[in-house]
Amino acid sequence: MISNVRPVVTSLSSSFISTSAQRLTAAIVESRCASNSKPLQRTSKAMAGVKMLNQIFNEDCLETMSRMDDESVDCVVTSPPYDDLRSYDGYCFDFEAIAKELFRVIKPDGVVVWVVGDQVIDGSESGSSFRQALYFKEIGFKLWDTMIYEKNSPRFAGHHNGNRYTQIFEYMFIFTKGKPISQLIIDKPNKWAGHRDWAGQMKKPVAEYGVRHNIWRYVTSFNSYGHPAPFPLDLAKDHIRSWTRLGEIVYDPFMGSGTTAVAAIELGRNYIGSEVSSNYCQMINNRINGIEAVIPFTILDK
Ligand SMILES: C[S@@+](CC[C@H](N)C(=O)[O-])C[C@H]1O[C@@H](n2cnc3c(N)ncnc32)[C@H](O)[C@@H]1O
């Protein structure tokens, strides 16, 4: 059940929206001119509503999604409130309704990245992460991958005389309705780089880098920008690079401190966000204002 959700639908100040959108538009035009940019080849025709692009809506995400067309979003990168681990200004969310709306708005070849961990309640992990993953499957999503976000520092460290190992990861569930468009990140150094087999049969030597595995390690940020639970900017960027192309639409229904929006801007993607707390919206405004779109020239966008 949704409780304590303010009914006001207020987007951030129009000056912020337009400057941010203009920067992004300029960036996308520039990127389309780049010889290495691929044409967009999504299967669906719908866009999330151009009027909604590059804005954060201060409202319940169900309200935002109710204004989106079916199959109009390329990618969702998000992290929901975890059990009641943190108070997030007192708001809670209706998981099942949100999951169904995500299913409706995501494109057939789009991806939902759901970053989640469990609270320990009365000695037992809540299992909410698993329940949510299975519910996504129940309503028609494929569980494409169960990835791990490994943190450099734990919330609760194990003790020499304790009885529980240090909890050091969260799940990054990857959901899709069909077969996702992807550009896998190729940055794992190959042990046998440059090697040719003994008989010299191989046409090419082993490449310097291979596709990375599905456990990703990041430096954890605590209370950055005044939000209790931001995920790392690089985590958002790596997913956006993996599952979208320049100019596509990334939605975060739980925008928090604005990490997904910053990542999208810096990678030349469009963003849409929802954040129910007006305090956090103000924080996003402060954070995002002044971010310049950076057109990536990496192996990923070639
Ligand atoms: C785990 S935090 C997201 C943190 C974010 N990934 C970041 O990097 O800053 C979850 C956020 O969801 C917001 N929230 C909770 N229920 C919501 C709802 N129904 N609609 C929109 N936002 C909601 C909370 O206020 C909180 O800021």
Residue spans per domain, the chain: 10-39+56-156+166-296
Atom of ligand 1 nearest to the CA of 227: 9
Could you read off the pLDDT of 43-69 as tens digits, one per residue?
A: 555 666 668 999 999 999 999 999 999
Separation of CA 160 and ligand 1 centre (Å): 35
Separation of CA 295 and ligand 1 centre (Å): 27
Residue of minimum CA distance from atom 25 in ligand 1: 88
Please report the pLDDT score of residue 174 as a whole number.
Answer: 98
Whether the model clears a pTM of 0.75, i.e. scores above it, the answer is: yes
Which of 255, 257, 262, 286 gets mutated to test ligand 1 (max ligand atoms within 8 A of its CB)?
A: 255
Distance of CA 5 to the CA centre of its chain: 23
Residue 113 has pLDDT above 80, yes or no: yes
| Distance spanning both ends of the chain, measured CA to CA | 44
Distance between CA 36 and CA 114 in Å, rounded? 30
Separation of CA 20 and ligand 1 centre (Å): 21
Kindly state the tokens that stand for 7.
């009914």
| Mean confidence (pLDDT) of the chain | 81
Distance between CA 30 and CA 39 in Å, rounded? 14
Neighbouring-strand partners of residue 106: 73
Which of 11, 275, 288 gets mutated to test ligand 1 (max ligand atoms within 8 A of its CB)?
A: 275
Could you read off the pLDDT of 195-226 as tens digits, one per residue?
A: 877 666 777 888 999 999 999 999 986 666 77
Ligand 1 in reach of 232 Cβ (< 6 A): no
Return phi, psi of residue 208, to 5°: -65, -40
Residues 70/105, Cβ–Cβ less than 8 Å: yes
Atom of ligand 1 nearest to the CA of 2: 19
Please write down the HEC assignment for all residues of 81-148. CCCCCCCHHHCCCCHHHHHHHHHHHEEEEEEEEEEECCCEECCEECCHHHHHHHHHHHCCCEEEEEEE
Query: Which CATH number is 10-39+56-156+166-296 given?
Result: 3.40.50.150
Distance between CA 91 and CA 281 in Å, rounded? 14
Ligand 1 in reach of 149 Cβ (< 6 A): no
* Between 124 and 6, the higher pLDDT residue: 124
Separation of CA 61 and ligand 1 centre (Å): 9
Distance between CA 154 and CA 117 in Å, rounded? 12
Average pLDDT over residues 129-155: 94
Separation of CA 158 and ligand 1 centre (Å): 28
Atom of ligand 1 nearest to the CA of 82: 1
